[in-house]
Structure 1
Amino acid sequence: MQMKTLLLKKEEVSRLIRMKEVIGTVEEAYKAFNSDQVVQPDYIGIDLHPPRGDIDFKLGYYKGNEIISMKASSGGFPNNPTTYGVPSGMGTILLFDARTCALICVMDGSLITGLRTGACGAVSVKALARKNAKRITSIGTGNQARMQIRAINEIMKIEAIHAWDHTSESLSRYKADIEREFGIPVVMANSKKEAVEQADILITTTRGKGELVEAEWIKPGTHIVAIGTDAKGKQELDPEIFRNAKVVVDSITQCSEKGETQHPLSKNIMSKDGIHAEIGEVLLGEKPGRESDEEITIFDSTGMAIQDNTTATKIYRNAIENKIGTFFEFFE
């Protein structure tokens, strides 16, 4: 058996996947997770302490494609670009053929996290937002805020975006970029309250440094996509929002410890039984999604290895099909 490993550079990865495909791979991942098709150990992180950041390792085995994936992603190394000439955060993905555990692909992983996280918002909008939703509010205007729009724009017509950020520079940059890329008007809000009150769909993509969104600002029928909280102690939402909302998560285990859901749980605003569903159960039709136009729905996403697995596998297959990448033989 000839054993070749495909190497894919960042530029090649960017040519091999479209957002529409990623929305499909993320849906597949969520359904697989709730169909006993996935083995996904808790992820491991090593904190290297300031001035350095940390590195995480996420592993997933998907019986549906017989692929084991491992993603290493680092972040928070501010001196990297100037001192070492490398980015402040990097990602690498390894794919193994589960039948032999042979390494079949090594690819740059810096784009995948952003893409699949963006796509998860769109998947939740399909499952949980009102069908007549038109206006999006974005709290946070960084790379992930843009990714969310890129994905949601694939599945619905966005009439307007109301945006808020800590700094007016990043806010006006976001306005210019979004209007140029999508032609969707962006309203720069004077306050978080003003922005949130406009939302049919509310997206939070900040660094999770505290309660940014208050319960009384949220109007009935809003769908909330909570992205920024993915570690213990991070927070974006007033936990009171959860009291009367339908809460859907990617993984109950992860979200109750690392997601936005950790806060209402620790304050006894809700119990674990109060979590309505994992999103895979809604996509599989095992549990209902939105049941009325008045409901407030929350999708709490912490990100899962299985999303990296299905998305990276699609990239690998596209690469083989299009003869892109370089083969390397470990066992010559």
Structure 2
Amino acid sequence: MKFGQEFKVGNMIYLTESQTAQLISHNLAYQAVREAFIAAISDKTRLFPVVNATGTEADSIFSLKAACAESIVGWKTGSYWPNNTALGKHCHGTTIFLLEPADGSLSAIVEASQVNAYRTAAADAVAVDCLARQSATTLAIFGTGHQAEYEVMAVSAVREIKTVLVVGRSIARTEAFVGKLIKKGILAQSADAQSACERADIVITATTSTSPLFKAEWIKSGTHISAMGADKKGKNELPTELYRYARLFCDYSTQSVVIGEFQHTRDTPITDIGHVLTGQKSGRTSANEITIFDSSGIAIQDLIVAKKLIELSQENSL
């Protein structure tokens, strides 16, 4: 099999994890997610409630996210099996399934565990590109896990980031992550939550926290915040006091207020970012505004990413 060439069973396409890991890039993910945010506000797109479930192993969970658009139908299943670490396997897994819109037959299976990290980070990059000040140069990242590196790299592609401040619970993991970023040519250093917030132009939270990571008064005027961690009930990364004087944006408001960061706000206007991307609503209107973007992760992102990966695979196999 040539690089990028898909495996077929009948008319069904199958892309393996190793293939999609080679095909994905921050640029492909950015373009796919931007298209997805615009598609999400179309009256021809339907996004269905997320199903979160548990596996038989302790603390294992999996989710199903489905969508139907004008020319694409399918769902993404994501899993988290924490005991896989002891087995030498990845804890997170992602697979995307596409159906033929005309007859409902299975048209593609796309393994996308690493792709999912790019796709999630791309949502952050699109939001930063749309909402953060052009002059933003200092980035604070809360979290030192697998996703954090992708967030930093994706945002660094849309803003000239000069300094990355890393805030983590574990000193050892924080220093290890700082070292990894430095090896990539990024000027990074560890910081406590307060100093990171007070210095940052952009704040990213990429954790599994169930309580606020910092205080509202630490955030300076003009800051953009991307809350990337909340994707089920009970998760909470931001102080709700921020909502009184910040402008709120998200990937899909119907979902955000149920399982996203904005499940903790009431009666505060929330703008789907697709409306900003199409010019229907305003994004940042002044240099002093605080903007917040919540990414709970929507299925149409996954479907469009999968479609682009299949197209790229077919191009590479010519």
TM-score with structure 1 length normalisation? 0.89
User: Distance in 1 between the 2:288 and 2:133 partners?
Assistant: 9
Cα deviation, 1:203-254, whole Å, max 9, x if unaligned, reads: 0011123111111100000000001111111111110011100001111111
Task: Report how many aligned residue pairs link the two structures.
Answer: 310
Deviates most, 146-155 or 87-96: 87-96
Structure 1 position 35, deviation (Å): 2.1
CA contact (8 A) 1:40 1:61 kept: yes
Distance in structure 2 (CA, Å) of the matches to 1:56 and 1:221: 35
Task: Give SS of 1:233's match.
Answer: coil
Match in the other structure for 2:243: 242
> By how many angstroms is 1:283 displaced?
0.4
Please name the residue that 2:40 is paired with.
33
Change (3 A) 1:313 1:289: same
Name the stretch that deviates more: 219-228 or 43-52. 43-52
2:132/2:202 contact within 8 Å kept: yes
Structure 2: gaps of 5 or more residues? 1-8
SS at match of 1:91: strand
* 1:74 equivalent in structure 2: 79
User: TM-score, with normalisation over the residues of structure 2?
Assistant: 0.93
Q: Secondary structure at the match of 1:289?
A: coil
- Distance 1:107-1:194 versus aligned 2 partners, 3 A rule: same
Q: What's the CA shift for 1:88? A: 2.7
Distance 1:78 1:162 in 2: 27
Percent of pairs with identical residues: 33
Question: Partner residue of 2:158?
Answer: 155
One-letter amino acid of the structure 2 residue matched with residue 161 of structure 1: V
SS state of the match for residue 72, structure 1? strand
Structure 2 distance, partners of 1:224, 1:82, is: 34
What's 1:330 paired with?
none
Say if 2:21 and 2:114, in contact at 8 Å, map to a contact too.
yes
> What letter is aligned with 1:80?
N
Query: Where do residues 221-260 of structure 1 align in structure 2 (5 Å cutoff)?
Result: 221-260=222-261
Secondary structure of 2:107's aligned partner: strand
Residue identity opposite 1:301 in structure 2: S
Matched AA of 1:160 = T
Give distance in 1, aligned partners of 2:65 and 2:72.
14
Flag the 1:87–1:17 CA change in 2: closer, same or farther, 3 A: closer
Alpha-carbon offset, residue 86 of structure 1: 4.8
Spell out structure 1 runs of 4+ moving beyond 2 A.
77-83, 85-89
Structure 1 residue runs without a partner (length 5+): 266-270, 325-332
The answer to whether the 8 Å contact 1:240/1:264 transfers is no
Q: 1:249, 1:279 within 8 Å by CA — same for their partners in 2?
A: yes
Partner of 1:314: 308
Taking only aligned residues, the RMSD between alpha carbons, in angstroms, comes to 1.7
Deviation readout 1:150-174 (Å, 9 max, x if unpaired): 1112212111011110011111111
For structure 1, which segment, 149-158 or 306-315, has the greater mean C-alpha deviation from structure 2 after superposition? 149-158
Give the aligned partner of residue 4 of structure 2.
none
1:7-33 superposed Cα distances (whole Å, 9 cap, x missing partner): 211110011121111101000000011
Equivalences for 1:1-332 in 2 at 5 Å? 3-48=10-55, 51-63=58-70, 66-75=71-80, 77-80=81-84, 82=86, 86-181=89-184, 183-189=185-191, 191-265=192-266, 271=267, 274-323=268-317
Secondary structure of 1:69's counterpart equals strand
- Take 1:313 and 1:253, find their aligned partners in 2: how far apart are those partners? 25
Matched AA of 1:201: I
The residue matched to 1:247 in structure 2 has which SS?
Answer: strand
Q: Alpha-carbon deviation of 1:317?
A: 0.9
1:322 is displaced (CA, Å) by 1.5
Q: Tell me how far apart the structure 2 counterparts of residues 44 and 194 of structure 1 sit (CA, whole Å).
A: 38
* d(CA) in 1 for partners of 2:233, 2:207: 15
Q: CA-to-partner distance for each residue in 1:8-65, whole Å, 9 max, x for gaps?
A: 11110011121111101000000011122312211212223661411111111221xx
Q: Distance in 2 between matches of 1:165 and 1:180?
A: 19
